[in-house]
Amino acid sequence: MALRNLRVDGDELLRRKSRPVADITENVKTLLGDMVDTMKNSKGAGLAAPQVGVLKRLIVIDHEDELFQMINPEIQLEEGSQDAEEACLSIPGMIGTVTRPEKLTVAFTKTDGTRAEMSAEGRLAVIISHEVDHLNGVLYRDKARNFRLRTKEDDEEDD
């Protein structure tokens, strides 16, 4: 288990666009494993590679005891909308309301190199949308209403 240092808001790297992963090397697999460890250690629901300082299109998600590791995720289709509370491991102590698609379809490469497609709705759609935004240098606070300090009444997980 290896933890990586989290980049926080204000770090210019979080604003850059991540590059597609051409080959699933051992380095890439190690990075994904470290991202999972770092996410779980911080009790996050998702993490994108730029948050640990690597500009590669990689995201990990921990949702209802299911773990997703997505290489080169691409959102194909978005439907409907929902308003959800969001937080982010790179913006500690804050929370905000963001409008996201209610449902989406995402295509991605799995660690075994095969391409997969998945549909998601509700909270999982929010997390996927939030993490893919990170790969494009977008932070949830750019889109948030009522961006505010998190209080004890706010128990959302960090994405």
Would residue 131 show up in a list of annotated catalytic residues for this protein?
A: yes
3-state helix, strand and coil shares in percent for the chain, rounded to the nearest 5: 25, 35, 40
If the CB atoms of residues 157 and 159 are measured against Ni ion, the closer one turns out to be 159
- Please check whether residue 69 is in contact with residue 110, taking contact to mean a CB–CB distance below 8 angstroms: yes
Q: Of 7-46, which residues contact Ni ion (CB under 5 A)? A: none
Q: By CB under 5 A, is residue 157 in contact with Ni ion? A: no
> Cβ of residue 7: shortest distance to Ni ion, in angstroms?
10
* Phi then psi dihedrals of residue 65, to 5 deg: 65, 15
Count of residues that interact with Ni ion, criterion CB under 5 A: 2
Nearer to Ni ion, 28 or 157 (CB): 157
CA dist 6 and 43 (Å) reads: 13
Spell out, one character per residue from 80 to 109, where the chain touches Ni ion: x when CB under 5 A holds, - when not: --------x---------------------
Q: Are 12 and 52 contacting, i.e. CB atoms less than 8 angstroms apart?
A: no
Residue 53 and residue 33: Cα distance in Å, rounded? 15
Catalytic residue among 78, 85, 121, 131: 131
Candidates 34, 62, 157, 159; binder of Ni ion (CB under 5 A) is 159
**How far, in Å, CA of 95 to CA of 104, rounded?**
23
Q: How far is the CB of 64 from Ni ion (least distance, A)?
A: 18
User: Mind telling me the catalytic residues?
Assistant: 131
> Interface residues with Ni ion (CB under 5 A)?
88, 159
